[in-house]
Amino acid sequence: MRILLLEDAEGLGEVIHDQITDEGHAVDWVQSISHAQASLRTTRYDLILLDLILPDGSGIDLLKKIRHAGETVPVIILTAKDQISDRINGLNAGADDYLVKPFDLSELSARIAAVSRRYAGNPNPIINIGTLEVDLTKHIISREGAAINLTAREWALLEAFIQRPGILLSKSQLEDHLYAFGAEVESNTIEVYISRLRKKLGKDQLETVRGLGYRMGSV
Amino acid sequence: MNSQKIISTQKKSPKSLQKTLGIGLTIGMTLLWMFALAGAVYVSQNKLNELFDSALAETAQRIMPLAVVEIINREDLTQAQQVMAFKAHNEPLVYIVRNNLGQILLQSHNADPAIFNQTLLKGFNSSATHRFYGVSAVQDTLHIEVAEPLTQRRDAIIEMAVTLLWPLVFLIPFCFIGSWAFVHYSLRHVLAYRDEIESRGSSDLSLIKTESLPAEIFTISESVNRLLDRLRRALESERSFTANSAHELRTPIATALAQIQRLQQEVSAGPTQDRMIKLESTIRGLSNLSEKLMQLAKAEGGGLLSNEPCDLISLLKLITNDAQRSHPETVIILALPKNKEYRSAIDPDAFAILIRNLLDNAIKHGAIQNGAIQNRVIKHTEKDQPIEISFSANGLLTIVNDASVIPAEILTQLRQRFVRSNVSAQGMGLGLAIADAIVSGTGATMTFNSPATGRVDGFEVSVDFSTIN
């Protein structure tokens, strides 16, 4: 997933960034609302992790602007404001979830996955694609009981297809999904990962539409 | 110390201004009326005496010529004669006619010579029982003295005074009612001011209307409003400080916790990872302690009531849902009245802190396996027993968790800080103390029961929100 992380605390932002990146997501980490707005103007994100108290304003105000603009991107609030009134305000402003600091990194990952599944239209963490069974919570994939090992990048690529079942995804869309701003992406990276996935999941699982992109069968 | 106690127990309840003014005005009016009555009686008595004296003198003047003719025409001038009455009648005035030697020559038919003066006095004089008027004629050889009983005058005065006093008996109650009504009317703005102060909740620190208040009270109300304003600003500052402190503390703790979790992922199993696990546990403990202390500060710092009543049932759903997500291993059963809401003046954040602490307590102590009984240590039973939360339509919250029966003497101590029923359970013994501070501060009531109602074991906390004004 392409995730925008808006967190002004240097140490915490760095850890969250590393954690989510290790899980195979592409994370753009910004520390102010102005930078977040600039990123939102140029990139389509799959998820926003939003702190509320920021040096140049309130995260709630930014969230309201995003929703007012008609954006349906999922938003998880990460904040030290633990009062129920803050939480209600956040949810009323359009947040999908609310996580109070300090939190476990594993809980953050679980919340990201849950919100992501909800937006994909299937809140069930276990899905079947042909002969494959995928547990999105535990990051386990198996075929007829036999486990298949995927790297973080391969898993992130698979998630991109699972989130948009049957939809054609272009190479640039997949690159956006996998890589953050500034990441060095070689021209054939996506082809390499697609090839690896085909080897592990089966050739029929991913369809190539020449000149347009790739598509996964129905979930 | 004892004298202080005696003074405090002897503290009198404040007097009612309305009652004091009503009684005072009535007593004042009555006294005024009594003084007026006394004055009227005094003046009337003098006038009556003058009239009675005039009648007495006139009687003597009128009888004397007739008596002279009567006596001179007698054959024996020294023979006494009593004038007979034509018919029986009451004779308030009696008289005797005597010569210059004091011999009685003529007397009215009912006259008693003993009541008259022995010496022949002229003009008015009085004895203990009668008023006299004496006059002489025929070169002072004949003397008439007319007597009138003083009781006649006294009866007249008393009769007049009683006649004047009767209306006062009826007037006093009317005067009291009228005074009370007038005072009540005059104090209506003061009473409205009192009612407004009485009716507002302890969290309502908005300014009180001072319109139409009398000048004597106006300055007091202005001072009260200034005090309320200062109090409100002080509480807001305190709340803001607590919230900011929470934010400032949580972020570095979150950073430390996240960093240590990342490090754990990067090192392989061994002594280093063990130390990291301990470090993580310590950071979590620090986080929990700072959290509880801030909650306690809020619970004891006021601001526990809100001007805007909120629906506790929807808040309870939200908080329970959070708890279920944070503790997926615990089964929480929530029973709520259907299609109902329960609005209360408790501050939503205070309510959330209360519920979170009660739930934390239930989760910690209700899901522990077989602790041992030692002093205040309570044995807990099987793990994974559901925590039952219910909220009734009349505002009664009940949370039941599994536990062995807790002795009554320990139940009473659970509200104290740093007291735990089970030392084998993780916790600081602050949760129920925080809950108690919130409940006390809002006017709700909280009771502990063990065994839980309808069960042979278990721990039950009940909070009645209906007692919040």
Out of B243, B248, B291, name the one closest to residue A83 (CB): B243
Domain end among B256, B281, B303: B303
Q: What is the pLDDT of residues B105-114, one digit of tens each?
A: 888 888 888 9
Query: How many domains is chain B built from?
Result: 3
Same domain, A104 and A152: no
Q: Per residue in B348-382, pLDDT tens?
A: 989 999 999 999 888 887 754 333 323 333 333 44
Give the confidence band of B97 by pLDDT, cuts at 50, 70, 90.
very high
Answer whether B254 sits within 8 Å of A103, measured CB to CB: yes
More confident residue, A131 or A181: A131
The reply to whether residue B246 touches residue A87, judged by beta carbons under 8 angstroms, is no
* One domain, residues B406 and B458: yes
Asked whether residue A63 falls in the same domain as residue A93, the answer is yes
Find out whether B394 and B403 touch, Cβ atoms under 8 Å: no
Do residues B132 and B270 share a domain? no
Is residue A56 domain-shared with residue A71, that is, in the same domain? yes
The residue with greater pLDDT, B458 or A129, is B458
Q: Which domain holds residue A142?
A: 126-216
Closest partner residue to B258 among A15, A80, A87, by Cβ? A15
pTM: 0.61
Angle at B300 between CA B295 and CA B306, to 5 degrees: 85
Do B121 and B92 belong together in one domain?
yes
User: What pLDDT does B78 receive?
Assistant: 67
Lowest mean pLDDT among A16-20, B134-138, B381-385, B443-447: B381-385
* pLDDT for res A163: 77
Contact A49, A117 (CB under 8 A): no
Same domain for B457 and B309, yes or no, is yes
The tokens describing B217, both together, are 């009270």
How many secondary structure helices (H) and strands (E) does chain B include? Answer: 10, 13
A130 and A115 within one domain: no
* Whether the predicted pLDDT of B1 surpasses 60: no
pLDDT tens for each residue of A144-155: 888 888 888 888
Domain end, chosen from A120, A155, A178, is at A120
- Whether residue A12 and residue B287 make contact (CB cut-off 8 A), yes or no, is no
Are both A115 and A169 inside the same structural domain?
A: no
Domain with A62 in it: what CATH number?
3.40.50.2300
What contacts B154, CB < 8 A, 6 or more positions away? none
Cα gap A26→A43, rounded to integer Å: 12
- The lowest-confidence range among B43-57, B118-132, B297-311, B448-462 is B297-311
In eight-state DSSP terms, residue A169 is B
Domain boundary among the residues B303, B318, B341 is at B303
Whether residues B428 and B335 share a domain: the answer is yes
Give dist(CA B108, CA B145) in Å, integer: 11
B96 and B112 Cβ atoms separated by less than 8 Å:
no
Identity of the residue in A11, A22, A82 whose CB atom sits nearest the CB atom of B259: A11
Nearest to B247 among A81, A88, A104 (CB): A81
Q: Are residues B47 and B161 in the same domain?
A: yes
Which domain range does residue B419 map to? 304-467
Say whether both A9 and A99 belong to one domain.
Answer: yes
If contacts are CB pairs under 8 Å, which of residues 92-151 in chain A contact chain B? 100-107
| Contact predicate B362/B414, CB 8 Å | no
**So what's the pLDDT on residue B422?**
59
Residue B186 lies in a domain: no
Which contiguous run of DSSP H or E holds residue A216? strand A213-216
State the Cα–Cα distance between residues B298 and B289, nearest whole angstrom: 14
Per-residue model confidence as pLDDT tens digits over B300-357: 776 788 878 889 999 999 999 888 888 877 888 899 988 788 999 898 989 999 999 9
> B80 has which bridge partners?
none
Neighbours of B136 (CB within 10 A): 17
Q: What is the domain-level CATH number for residue B365?
A: 3.30.565.10
Indicate whether B328 belongs to any domain. Answer: yes
Q: Between the CA of residue B163 and those of B27, B28, B35, B44, what are the distances in Å?
A: 21, 21, 15, 13
Q: What is the mean pLDDT of residues B171-192?
A: 85
Q: Is residue B194 in some structural domain? A: no
Q: Does B158 lie in the same domain as B142? A: yes
Q: Which pLDDT belongs to residue B201?
A: 61
> What's the rounded Cα separation, in Å, for the pair A47 and A57?
20
DSSP string, B305-330: EEEEEEEHHHHHHHHHHHHHHH-TTS
Max distance between CA atoms of chain B, in angstroms, equals: 166
The last residue of a domain, from among B254, B275, B303? B303
Looking at residue A158, which CATH number applies to its domain?
1.10.10.10
Do both B271 and B420 map to the same domain? no
Q: Do A59 and A80 sit in the same domain of this protein?
A: yes
How are the residues of chain B apportioned to helix, strand and coil, as percentages rounded to the nearest 5?
55, 15, 30
Q: Are residues B403 and B310 in the same domain?
A: yes
Let me know: does B331 contact B289? Beta carbons within 8 Å: no
Return the residue of A nearest to B328 by Cα.
A107
Over its C-alpha atoms, chain A yields an Rg (Å, rounded) of 18
- Chain B residues close to A107, C-beta within 8 Å: 326
ipTM: 0.73
Question: Looking at the structure, do residues B50 and B141 belong to the same domain, yes or no?
Answer: yes
> What is the helix (H) or strand (E) element at residue A11, kind and residue range?
helix A10-22
Minimal-distance CA residue of chain A relative to B351:
A84
In a domain, B195, yes or no: no
- Residue B193, H or E segment: helix B188-199
Return d(Cα B286, Cα B39) in angstroms, integer: 89
> Which token pair is B274?
């063990």
Between A208 and B3, the higher pLDDT residue: A208
- On average, the pLDDT of chain B sits at 82
